[in-house]
Amino acid sequence: MNKVKLTWSTSETFSARKIVVMRAEKPIINQGMLISANILQELSTDTKEYEDNIQDSGTYYYAVVARTQAGTLYNILIPSVNATVTPVVLSKDFTKQIYKDMQEQKKTEPEPDSISTMTVLPEEKIYSEGQMRELPLPYLDLIDDLYKKPSITNPEVIQAGKELSMEYQNSKKKVLLPYIFEEDLISNPEGDGYYLFKILKTHFITEDYQTSVHELKKFLSIYREPDITRRAAFYLGEAQYYCRRYRQAIAMFLFVEDDLPVLARKWIDSSLDFYKLDK
């Protein structure tokens, strides 16, 4: 129950001094985390697997990287390729301890007059006001409505909206041009940045916005650094905008509005220009 087996493959042209297996309690997604991760073993380049023996309960992530002939780590990290995105969770098994405690308690307590059932549970810990829980904390989805279907609008609200916007709808509307952040104009060598750049290059730039929506949702379903999450959410808003899903687009632009107030407001206004109430 406390063994984790890692396997990998390398290309025929693979050349390195060593293969380095690393472990951390958070996803190893950038160079900074690569430096702070725990090096478990350095293996020969013909090795294709490694078995880790975990002693303490917790949440663990792994990465397998190459050490170059010069002795430095080849720091390209690609989630789900050479860095795990799904954690290995080792929980404490209370069963044996509970049984042992019950047996010890039975030796010291007098026999009861009647038969009773006793349930032994781990002691509940009470946190005082302002005290934070220990890690690992439960993961909260940053964007919890990515797959939520829009609610049905009340007919009275639809009619009121049409009356209020009758004159405004006759005005000429201009579709905004795609916006790309400077950070994503060139390929980023690190994991998350490279993954996002690949989505943009393969789908977004080629105007395959339907696939862009799918890939960006999948990208955002895993924890990313705040700055990359913000950019990916904005691109998702743009892709929804070009798919004419203005309601979903507005939700994404609102998500980044605090950090990108001018840019987000521009796209929110344009989305509202094109947004039509359901018939």
The three-point CA angle 264-256-164 to 5° equals 50
Residue 7 Rama label (left phi>0; alpha psi -120 to 50; beta)? beta
Question: Which spans in the chain are helix H?
Answer: 31-36, 94-108, 155-164, 191-199, 209-220, 226-242, 246-255, 261-274
Q: How confident is the model at residue 117 (pLDDT cuts 50, 70, 90)?
A: very low
Which of 3-7, 156-160, 161-165, 166-170 is predicted with the least confidence, judged by mean pLDDT? 166-170
Q: How far is CA 220 from the centre of its chain?
A: 5
Which of 48-52, 134-138, 145-149, 174-178 is predicted with the least confidence, judged by mean pLDDT? 134-138
Average pLDDT, the chain: 78
Q: How confident is the model at residue 137 (pLDDT cuts 50, 70, 90)?
A: very low
Q: How far apart are CA 139 and CA 279, in angstroms?
A: 39
Residue type, 152: I
* pLDDT computed for residue 71 by the predictor: 83
Q: Which residues pair with 59 in a beta bridge?
A: 89
In this prediction, residues 202-221 reach a mean pLDDT of: 92
Q: How far apart are CA 232 and CA 195, in angstroms?
A: 11
Higher pLDDT, 38 or 134: 38
Reading the block at residue 249, the tokens are: 């687009």
Reading the block at residue 52, the tokens are: 């880790």
Three-state SS for 6? strand
Q: How far apart are CA 116 and CA 20, in angstroms?
A: 56
What strand order describes the sheet that includes 18-24?
38-43, 18-24, 58-67, 88-90
Q: Which residues contact 202 (CB under 8 A, 6 or more apart)?
A: 208
Residue 127 scores a pLDDT above 80: no
Instruction: List, for residues 31-45, the tens digit of each pLDDT value.
Output: 777 777 888 899 999
* pLDDT computed for residue 203 by the predictor: 93
* pLDDT computed for residue 47 by the predictor: 92
* pLDDT computed for residue 119 by the predictor: 40
Q: How far apart are CA 24 and CA 9, in angstroms?
A: 21
* pLDDT computed for residue 112 by the predictor: 44
Q: Which residues pair with 90 in a beta bridge?
A: 58
Q: How far apart are CA 29 and CA 33, in angstroms?
A: 7
* pLDDT computed for residue 98 by the predictor: 45
**CB neighbours (10 Å) of residue 198?**
15
Reading the block at residue 244, the tokens are: 């004419």
Instruction: List, for residues 55-91, the tens digit of each pLDDT value.
Output: 787 889 999 999 888 888 877 778 778 888 888 887 6
Higher pLDDT, 153 or 272: 272
In this prediction, residues 211-228 reach a mean pLDDT of: 89
Residue type, 4: V
Higher pLDDT, 1 or 210: 210
Higher pLDDT, 175 or 222: 175
Distances (CA, A) of 50 to 36, 42, 80, 170: 20, 10, 17, 66
In this prediction, residues 142-171 reach a mean pLDDT of: 64
* pLDDT computed for residue 210 by the predictor: 94
In this prediction, residues 138-155 reach a mean pLDDT of: 58
Q: What is the pTM of this model?
A: 0.45
Contact present, 79 and 86 (Cβ < 8 Å): no
Distances (CA, A) of 243 to 32, 266, 275: 37, 18, 12
Q: How confident is the model at residue 122 (pLDDT cuts 50, 70, 90)?
A: very low
